[in-house]
Chains A and B, each alone.
Chain A
Amino acid sequence: MAAPVEHPEEHLPERHKRWFWERLVRVTAVFFVLWTVIAVWWHIPAPHAWRNVLLFGNMPLPWYLAAFISIWAGVLMIFVYHWVMSRVEGELLARAVQDWDQLPEDVKLSLRLAGATPSGAQH
């Protein structure tokens, strides 16, 4: 008789694993490019071209980009990334459950114990 496994994801069909990893790399690459904007790119023109731009009527923009905006853009980016990746992870589970008949018995048992079955996948 099959026993449940702790990490059913490791026993998924290869195509699901590959799908997840490709999606993860694509999402991460997009976020990484956005990160280079707040970490590097916008600090290059800022001290020269935007030197006389004032935010809120008195705050020099190059200063505020480095001292405030970049930090909170970085925080926001992590939470948005987490939200996107959680959805991708949820989709992986949904794909696994869709292929229920092709899953090994121990994986099915694990998913069933966690409440993820073809009739109602949970994550």
Chain B
Amino acid sequence: MRVHPEVYRVLIPSILGYVVLIFILAALFGPRVAAGWMVVGSILMYIAIAYVARGTTAHAMYLAERRIPPVINGAATAADWMSAASFLSMAGAIALLGYDGLPYIIGWTLGYTIHAFFIAPYVRKSNTWTVPDLVETRAGGYGPARVIAVIMLFITSLTYLTAQLVGAGVVFSRFLGIPAQVGVFGALFGMGIYAASGGWKSITWTQFAQYIVLIVAYVGAAFLVATLVGIWKPLPWFGYGELIQALQSRESQQGLAPWTTPFAKPLGGAAGQLNWILSALLLMLGTIGLPHILIRSYTTPTASAARLSVGWALFFIGLLYCTAPMYAAMARYAFSGLWGRPIAEVQAVPWVAKFLPTGLIRINDANGDGILQAAELVFHGDIVVIGMPDMWNLAWWIAPFVAVGGLAAALSTADGLLMVMVTGITRDIYHRFINPNVSEETEVRMTRVLVMVLSVAASFLAFLAIQDPRFALYVALLVGWAFVFAAASFTPAVVLGTFWKRLNRYGIVWGMVAGMATALPYVLAVGVFQAPPLYLFGQPVGTIAWGCIAFAVNLVVSVVVSLLTQPEGEAVMRFVDRMRLPELVRVPAVAGASQEAEERQ
């Protein structure tokens, strides 16, 4: 049986209608108008889907009625996860860092594997509504645990949201010809409206559509370029080694170290194998502690479905993540083709001429010989994905379609973050502490208003970020550190909460506080104030890798404090037992009655 059949009725017609409309506009008014409408039209399509999938109850707003099938939930999780950073910047980071950028690939994927082992089914089986709700329930109804969890949630999510809106603003600016500062408010319009229309139910179905758009755009453009360079052997993922060999041969002619040389460039302020491993590990630990990812386990029907959904999520994420290094190789190969040519000739290459004024490519004839050396060409990481259609002279509609994909990635993540924060206020603070008797209508209305208010606040932060380059730099850094903070706060609490019954309220609270107190000063000192990194086993430890230390501190403090204080009572033991056991059977009549009871909560 299909869930939410009303959504299926509009999903396919919306996508097909969008494609047909763009081609009609292109035929009537030309590519420029069609490219603009491609961006705007995608947002209108998301709004249409969100409107049809709108929820009117708290159960739909917060939990999507707990009816999302694993495959759909997996795709929505993938869209929730893959942000503007994944779509626009990750391939660029690998193009610039080579092997030293690969911790982003394994770090941002393999966390999902342990998410399926240690987190997803238990979070779902807890039958709680939010992550702070889970933390408080596990802490025996200890209110301060929920409040601290909400604070951690805001620290992690708000900076992340700001960066998504910056990404969306840049896309608007490039394809609508408006300033990026104005573009961020365009993103607010789209994101706010469909998040407000139906909470997680709307967002889930919109994210599903956004996943389709972003993955077709990302992998489709890469495969087209792969056809041009002839690396289908039998698939481009297996054939781009040829490009790497050709690239490294050009690099050796230019006296450069090969691109795949390990531990040559710093990541998070330090270079070395220990930093590489710890950085990857931290990104994995952070992934499983991010609230907007944790909350996706609540929307499936059962704990088993939540576990399976994580498998689908990683499958869908993997498609993009294994394509990113291919993008990096293809872009670097394209750039290496410019080396050794007269600078005047290089500047006349159409795609170079297009991106030179934007600052994404910089050429400086340092030795004055008129010939471009490798060191005289600098490119910004963002050009790797956005500029790929131009580099390889693809059809006119590919470039705006890639931008639409980037916009989908930014908006889908922004929605998840926005909803998590709004829930933190309405459900975790207002409903729990201020007005437990609030009517469902009031709570739903409040959620809708707060979505718009927080959208405006985040857009304003993004506006500031675009205006001040230093502020933008800090936002970008903070996004990376969001993982440090998540691993230092939520991850140990959620894992220990299921697997160690002796963990108590004081262990949870002091563990989170100690983890954050370990992470924050180091991140500020090394990341912001440029202090030299500390050394571990003779190797430097960067800010991202430091998160592993903070995670370990949280773990140790949680255990020690719990052992030194009173264990939790019988109610918490029963709660843990409930989390640990699978649903043996699903009794339709009882499940229906239970859902009604949950909706009345």
Interface residues of A (CB under 8 A from B): 4-10, 12, 17, 20-21, 24-25, 28, 31-32, 35, 38-40, 43-44, 47, 51, 54-60, 62-64, 66-68, 70-72, 74-75, 77-79, 81-82, 85-86, 89, 92-93, 96, 110-111, 113-116, 122-123
Contact = CB atoms under 8 A, between A and B. Distances in A.
Contact of A58 (B244, B310, B581): B244
A55 B237 CA distance: 12
B283 to A, nearest CB: 10
Chain B at the A interface: mostly helix, strand, loop or mixed? helix
A77 to B, nearest CB: 5
A71 B109 contact: yes
A78 B574 CA distance: 28
B226 to A, nearest CB: 14
A63 to B, nearest CB: 5
6 contacts: A7-B578, A7-B584, A40-B280, A74-B318, A85-B304, A115-B585
Given A4-B587, A21-B580, A63 B260 contact: yes
B277 A113 contact: no
Interface size, B (range)? 35 or more
B419 interface: no
B99 A62 contact: yes
A106 B315 CA distance: 40
Q: 6 closest A-B pairs (Cβ-Cβ)?
A: A59-B241, A58-B241, A114-B585, A47-B262, A78-B311, A66-B102
Nearest to A64: B241
Contacts of A38: 110
Given A17-B581, A60-B244, A77-B113, A113 B314 contact: no
Given A54-B241, A58-B245, A110-B585, A35 B277 contact: no
A111 B241 contact: no
Taking each of B113, B281, B577, B593, which has the highest tally of chain A beta carbons within 10 Å of its own beta carbon? B113
Interface in B440-476: none
Contacts of A62: 99, 260, 262
Given A8-B585, A113-B588, A114-B586, A78 B237 contact: no
B355 interface: no
B584 A9 contact: yes
Interface string B258-293: 001011000000000100110011001000000000
Contact of A71 (B321, B584, B589): B321
B113 A78 contact: yes
A118 B230 CA distance: 61
Contacts of B240: 59
A8 B238 CA distance: 49
B433 interface: no
Contact of B585 (A54, A59, A123): A123
A81 B581 contact: no
Contacts of B304: 82, 85-86, 89
B372 interface: no
Nearest to B314: A75
A90 B455 CA distance: 46
Contacts of A92: 582, 584
Interface in B222-246: 233, 237-242, 244-245
B322 A71 contact: yes
Taking each of A5, A7, A70, A111, which has the highest tally of chain B beta carbons within 10 Å of its own beta carbon? A7
Contact of A6 (B118, B574, B594): B594
A12 B584 CA distance: 10
A35 B110 contact: yes
Nearest to B113: A74
B105 interface: yes
A51 B33 CA distance: 50
A17 to B, nearest CB: 6
A70 B103 CA distance: 11
Given A31-B117, A32-B117, A82-B311, A74 B109 contact: yes
Nearest to B594: A6
B241 A57 contact: yes
Contact of A55 (B106, B241, B577): B241
Nearest to B313: A78
Taking each of B105, B260, B588, which has the highest tally of chain A beta carbons within 10 Å of its own beta carbon? B260
